[in-house]
A and B are shown apart, each in its own frame.
Chain A
Amino acid sequence: MAVPPLASSLPAYVGDNADSIAQLAVGHVWVVALSMAIATLAGVLLGLVAYRSSAAASVVITVASVILTLPSFALLGVLLALLGLGVVPVVIALVLYALLPIVRNTITGLRSVDPVVLDGARGIGMAPLQRLVRVELPIAWPVILAGIRTATQLVVGITAIAAYVNGPGLGRFIYSGLSQLGGANATNQILVGTFGVVVIALVFDALLALVGRATVSKGIRA
């Protein structure tokens, strides 16, 4: 009769595997940060292109909302089937996913700027680009930032799923644990993966909240 392998306690497991946990956590953060940087830039630009036309705006918002209701696992599967495995396809998939809330909120934010304020800005002689940079974007910024926060939460979670298809990140612990369920340390692996993802999500959200405090004018803060 085989002796079941000795399971170590969670603290001991973390201690023994600190290196690989740190490595995967850094990989997770890095993928999220990279995807979000690209998605923010692209999302705000797309929003800027679309927001003036109400037809374009409503098409974009509808499409984004529909895609956001699809289960991320299914969508990821479809994307990877098209793009192949590895880090680059994972980043592309994450960017596409993160775009949706950012584009949606950029358009919503820009379109909700009070027309009286815009008329005033025009009436005192602000050129179109000055109105955009000094009036519309700063007023829409809290809404855009909320979109970025939503997208970040989504992406942190989806990155965990991406480990299943060879992406980097703490998802590896979860899958490895799930595949050895009942085995020694399976529970520890799942716990480390899950808590790690939660901690990363909370840290990102806290950072973005700080960005909000630093960049949203007190005159429009909710």
Chain B
Amino acid sequence: MSTPSTGEGLDTSQAVDIELEQVTKRFPGQDVPAVEDFSLSIPAGEIVVFVGPSGCGKTTTMRMINRLVRPTSGRILIGGRDASDIPSDQLRRRIGYVVQQAGLLPHLTVRQNLETVPRLLKWDKARIAERSSELFELVGLPEEQFAQRFPRELSGGQQQRVGVARALAADPPVLLMDEPFGALDPITRDRLQSELVKIQRRVRKTIVFVTHDIDEAIKLGDRVVVLRERSRIAQQGPPDEILAAPADRYVRAFIGGGAAVKRLQLVRVEDLEREDYPAFTRADGYDGILRTLRERQLDCSILLDEHRRPTRWLYRDELEDRPAHPEREGQAISGVVTATTTLHDAMNEMLAAGTGVVPVVDDQGVYVGAVRLKQVLAALEETHVTPVAEQSEAAPVRTIEEITGEIDGRAVQAAIAAGEEEATGT
């Protein structure tokens, strides 16, 4: 499923490849280098994730690309040009940069924050205004509602959306992201991750993403680089390859248990056939809803609002009791998924809702179908079909109950956190 392409102007800057050649960083007064002899080719237009424990030098490695840290030795080529030949501030204006707490300028409005880099680049007013509108749309924040707000009036997730938009403002060919979602609650983090994938399909930047969370790395990376101390590369490759064949004990330990479940991070909702799951509006009336549920032997269904956005779960047993106000029955729908949501996150939403079903919506929030737990379990079976010898050693295959039980706890926590996010949000 593709997103509506409204921003032709977004693709003006071609992504470029990045080449790190034997890069070393030695901080004064430290015996051991922070980064030692690091070489890597990052292909244009891909998301490369540096993942490793804290203190392994992954952030330092990334910060050398935009020269926030100067390499002690080695070369960094961006689109074939030696980064040290470009004045640092000029270089940084052409490289988007996103940090953990978004790092927005607190005294400026959201609009002013978005306009900072285009202003530094001396764009004309009309172009800046046009670009800002595109950015609001790109990261899913209504312009009229958010433009004049200040960062502290936004939730953490909204701030980080602005952070991503600001990094993309001048349409840079390269984006550096330093644990951008690390401080967010799990549900918000999952949603922003899915959205980053969606945005990346539109803008096709070369993205270097730093995280200590292997799940995040697997979910986002076209290529994952597992780092150990001094930023030495333990293994690099596509995420499924790393999950299937960890290079050594270190990587295996870092991946941790539940490799099979982790592979659910590699399958997205769009990869499944969407079920024709019944959803109703109030216009369908009560009897109509009940009849369909009986015919199809379903226990619950989805109530849509006038814009066909999912609003509530309706339960058959409650409807059977003929309540006076069916629209007040059931339970508010807390989570929906989009095409780019991974099955792992979709499963979380299902377990949080307790219905074993999650509605799928498009970019406007309009209902397009649903995914059911049994589909996810089927996909889980499929990913099991290709086990690799080492995998059983790394993570003994577990029963579905064990696996889902483990996730259930996380889902409950996530649901609680989501409630808080809503409270602090708009």
Q: Does B334 contact A (CB under 8 A)?
A: no
Closest beta carbon of chain B to A119's beta carbon, Å: 6
Q: Does B120 contact A (CB under 8 A)?
A: yes
Q: How far is the CA of A122 from the CA of B69 in the complex (A)?
A: 11
Q: Does B81 contact A (CB under 8 A)?
A: no
Instruction: Please choose the segment from B28-36, B104-112, B225-233, B395-403 that sits at the chain A interface, where 4 or more of its residues have CB less than 8 A away.
Output: B104-112
Main secondary structure of the interface of A (DSSP, over half): helix
Q: Does A3 contact B (CB under 8 A)?
A: no
Q: Does A219 contact B (CB under 8 A)?
A: yes
Residue of A nearest to B148 (CB): A218
Contact A117 B92, CB 8 Å, known A123-B97, A124-B97, A124-B120: no
Is A126 in contact with B106, judged by CB distance below 8 angstroms?
no
Is B103 in contact with A217, judged by CB distance below 8 angstroms?
no
Q: Does A125 contact B (CB under 8 A)?
A: yes
| Contacting residues, chain B, for A70 (C-beta < 8 A) | none
Binary B-proximity of A53-84 (CB < 8 A = 1, otherwise 0): 00000000000000000000000000000000
Contact A125 B90, CB 8 Å, known A138-B107, A139-B107, A219-B108: yes
Closest beta carbon of chain A to B83's beta carbon, Å: 13
| Contacting residues, chain A, for B167 (C-beta < 8 A) | 124
Contact A123 B105, CB 8 Å, known A130-B120, A217-B150: no
Total A residues in contact with B, Cβ cutoff 8 Å: 21
Is B68 in contact with A122, judged by CB distance below 8 angstroms?
yes
Is B107 in contact with A220, judged by CB distance below 8 angstroms?
yes
Closest beta carbon of chain B to A169's beta carbon, Å: 37
Q: Does A2 contact B (CB under 8 A)?
A: no
Q: How far is the CA of A139 from the CA of B103 in the complex (A)?
A: 13
- Contact partner of B89 (CB less than 8 A), chosen from A114, A125, A134, is A125
- Contact partner of A120 (CB less than 8 A), chosen from B94, B105, B153, is B105
Q: How far is the CA of A100 from the CA of B330 in the complex (A)?
A: 65
Is A125 in contact with B103, judged by CB distance below 8 angstroms?
no
Q: How far is the CA of A220 from the CA of B152 in the complex (A)?
A: 8
Contact A219 B109, CB 8 Å, known A116-B99, A120-B99, A125-B92: yes
Closest beta carbon of chain B to A123's beta carbon, Å: 4
Q: Does B100 contact A (CB under 8 A)?
A: yes
Among A120, A125, A135, A219, the most chain B Cβ lie within 10 Å of the Cβ of: A125
Residue of A nearest to B94 (CB): A125
Among B100, B103, B166, the most chain A Cβ lie within 10 Å of the Cβ of: B103
Is A135 in contact with B99, judged by CB distance below 8 angstroms?
no
| Contacting residues, chain A, for B100 (C-beta < 8 A) | 116
| Contacting residues, chain B, for A121 (C-beta < 8 A) | 103, 105
Q: Does B22 contact A (CB under 8 A)?
A: no
Contact A124 B150, CB 8 Å, known A116-B101, A117-B105, A117-B106: no
Is A219 in contact with B97, judged by CB distance below 8 angstroms?
no
Q: Does A127 contact B (CB under 8 A)?
A: yes
| Contacting residues, chain B, for A219 (C-beta < 8 A) | 106-109, 150-153
Interface residues of A in 78-117 (CB under 8 A from B): 114, 116-117
Is B150 in contact with A117, judged by CB distance below 8 angstroms?
no
Interface residues of B in 145-178 (CB under 8 A from A): 150-153, 166-167, 176
25 A-B pairs with C-beta separation under 8 A: A114-B106, A116-B100, A116-B101, A117-B103, A117-B106, A119-B99, A120-B99, A120-B105, A123-B66, A123-B99, A124-B93, A124-B97, A124-B116, A124-B117, A124-B120, A125-B89, A125-B120, A126-B89, A127-B89, A130-B120, A139-B105, A217-B108, A219-B107, A219-B108, A220-B150
11 more contacts with CB within 8 A, not counting A120-B104, A127-B89, are: A116-B100, A117-B103, A121-B105, A124-B93, A124-B167, A125-B92, A125-B93, A139-B106, A219-B106, A219-B107, A220-B152
A residues engaging B (CB < 8 A)? 114, 116-117, 119-127, 130, 134-135, 138-139, 217-220
